[in-house]
A and B are shown apart, each in its own frame.
Chain A
Amino acid sequence: MNATTQPIVSMKKLNKHFGSLHVLKDIDLAITPGEVVVVIGASGSGKSTLIRCINGLEEFQQGILGVDGKTLQPYGRSGRALQQIRTEVGMVFQQFNLFPHLSVRDNVTLAPIKVRGANRQQARQTADRLLERVGIEDQADKYPAQLSGGQQQRVALARALAMEPRLMLFDEPTSALDPEMIGEVLDAMRELAKEGMTMVIVTHEMHFAREVADRVIYIHQGEITEQGPPEQLFDAPQHERTQAFLSRVLKH
């Protein structure tokens, strides 16, 4: 990786509290364009909160957070910068969060039309191309509830990609899926990683993490305990907490 490239995400001493709970502790993290970062850790470790800070769905209280050349302010006081960041940062959620009142195609065209001011015709073409890319072009006129979970999540991916994001966040994208549908979503993400998309992925799919990640970050109780290339982190974890966590999740 080119050391001189400006990081697309840069966190310095980021701290977040939920009331008396200290969820993120002095997080230092820089993500380079093109990098695929996988965040792992036990539930409640703060890994989802960490990536939700990047697009301002969670506020933080102290520290510096720069995303795509803009700065996010503590306590959610970022105003216009936040919306600008969100137009450049896509997100895929655990529960898909498709808009149930809109057709699959309209789910994908909504933001390009409303936010980018794209014309309807162009937005439709882009949507159909993206839906084809994730393998659901024949479902474009259906409503989300008529699709399987795996299909819905692929629509959610197409919806985010329609904004041509510079960074994609994935918050446990396969955790709500039936086992037989996990593969199709991971395939679509693998494709995206191959094309050079910058991605931050929170997941429990360790084999997938090992395969696509440039870097794996292990979070424990709101702190980055250990990070490194997947071979290093999975095969020779340095920290005993990482070892304990991996032995628990890799056992089955």
Chain B
Amino acid sequence: MDVSFNFDWAAAIDSIPHLLPGIPWTLLISFGGLAIGFVIGIFFGLLRISPLRPLRWLAIAYIEIFRGTPILVQVLFIFYGLPQLLGGPINALTAGIAAIAVNSGAYISEIVRGGVQSIERGQREAALSLGLSRSQAFRCVIWPQALRRMIPPLGNQAIISIKDTSLFSVIGVGELVRQGQIYIATTFTAMEVYFMVALLYLAITWTLSILLSVLERKGLAGE
């Protein structure tokens, strides 16, 4: 067998059209999951700072469970475990989105909590002193400022979640890594293909970083 350590650029470039179909799946799972995760994060993040102790406990339990267990185990549990409970199969795409949602939701809860708690007490006092209700003070004064401060950590979380979707090749969802594996099975050009897979992830995450820094600058313009 001829073992060559030369990187075959032609093989790498040839793999691109076979990898590209994975990108929509990667993006769909990432951003679908993150969108739901954001809603989960707002919900549990606000419960986490609720004045009612049982609600805080509920939020802490959620956060600890989904932050403290591997996302790989979470997706395997959802894809293989939950069907036993539900009595029917779950498709791989749904399982992937659900795993990103519950996992990122736990981290985003903490981001939301941190963002809201970072707003100076005087902001709330000023709003209340003007006669705004507690919910108006939150919606008009606290939340818009907290959201701006949450942009950098949310961007960070988005990048982590995008990379996490690579694990979902194990449940057969046709994302980037899975497309790479399928292609390698016929060409045996693992080095070239995984190199290109890595480059494609980098292209996605880097684009996101740039978008976020623009958003951050815009968001901070008012401050």
Q: How far is the CA of A175 from the CA of B131 in the complex (A)?
A: 25
Residue in A86, A93, A99, A100 whose CB lies within 8 Å of B131: A86
B67 contacts partner chain A, Cβ-Cβ < 8 Å: no
Residue in A97, A143, A159 whose CB lies within 8 Å of B125: A97
Q: Is the CB of A101 within 8 A of B148?
A: yes
Q: Is the CB of B126 within 8 A of A97?
A: yes
A95 contacts partner chain B, Cβ-Cβ < 8 Å: yes
Set of chain A residues within 8 Å of B86, measured between Cβ atoms:
none
A163 contacts partner chain B, Cβ-Cβ < 8 Å: yes
Which of A56, A95, A100, A159 is most buried by chain B, counting CB atoms within 10 A of its CB?
A: A100
Q: Is the CB of B130 within 8 A of A159?
A: yes
- Report how many residues on chain B are interfacial, defined by Cβ distance under 8 Å: 20
Q: Is the CB of B131 within 8 A of A83?
A: yes
Q: Is the CB of B132 within 8 A of A111?
A: yes
Q: How far is the CA of A98 from the CA of B145 in the complex (A)?
A: 12
| Among B74-82, B136-144, B201-209, the stretch in contact with A | B136-144
B129 contacts partner chain A, Cβ-Cβ < 8 Å: yes
Q: Is the CB of B129 within 8 A of A99?
A: no
Set of chain A residues within 8 Å of B123, measured between Cβ atoms:
97, 99
Binary contact readout A158-179 vs B (1 if CB under 8 angstroms, 0 otherwise): 0110010000000000000000
Closest A residue to B133 by beta carbon equals: A83
Binary contact readout B144-165 vs A (1 if CB under 8 angstroms, 0 otherwise): 1100100000000000000000
Q: How far is the CA of A86 from the CA of B131 in the complex (A)?
A: 5
Q: Is the CB of B223 within 8 A of A115?
A: no
Q: Is the CB of B132 within 8 A of A97?
A: no
Set of chain A residues within 8 Å of B87, measured between Cβ atoms:
none
Binary contact readout A138-149 vs B (1 if CB under 8 angstroms, 0 otherwise): 000001010000
Interface residues on A, range: 20 to 34
> Given A93-B122, A97-B123, A145-B223, are A57 and B129 neighbors across the interface (CB < 8 Å)?
yes
Q: Is the CB of B131 within 8 A of A111?
A: yes
Q: Is the CB of A90 within 8 A of B132?
A: no
Instruction: List residues of A (73-106) whose CB comes within 8 Å of B's CBs.
Output: 83-84, 86-91, 93, 95, 97-103
Q: Is the CB of A115 within 8 A of B131?
A: yes
B212 contacts partner chain A, Cβ-Cβ < 8 Å: no
Residue in A57, A83, A100 whose CB lies within 8 Å of B223: A100
Q: How far is the CA of A98 from the CA of B123 in the complex (A)?
A: 7
Set of chain B residues within 8 Å of A159, measured between Cβ atoms:
130
Set of chain A residues within 8 Å of B171, measured between Cβ atoms:
none
Q: Is the CB of A95 within 8 A of B140?
A: no
> Given A95-B122, A100-B145, are A143 and B222 neighbors across the interface (CB < 8 Å)?
yes
Q: Is the CB of A163 within 8 A of B130?
A: yes
Q: How far is the CA of A243 from the CA of B123 in the complex (A)?
A: 37
Q: How far is the CA of A100 from the CA of B144 in the complex (A)?
A: 10
Set of chain B residues within 8 Å of A98, measured between Cβ atoms:
126
Q: How far is the CA of A99 from the CA of B223 in the complex (A)?
A: 9
B128 contacts partner chain A, Cβ-Cβ < 8 Å: yes
Q: How far is the CA of A193 from the CA of B141 in the complex (A)?
A: 30
Q: Is the CB of B122 within 8 A of A97?
A: yes
27 A–B contacts from the bound complex (CB under 8 Å): A56-B128, A57-B125, A57-B128, A57-B129, A83-B131, A86-B129, A90-B129, A93-B125, A93-B126, A93-B129, A97-B123, A97-B126, A99-B126, A100-B145, A101-B144, A101-B145, A101-B148, A101-B223, A110-B130, A110-B132, A111-B132, A114-B140, A115-B132, A156-B126, A160-B129, A163-B130, A163-B131
Name A's B-contacting residues (CB within 8 A). 55-57, 83-84, 86-91, 93, 95, 97-103, 110-111, 114-115, 143, 145, 156, 159-160, 163
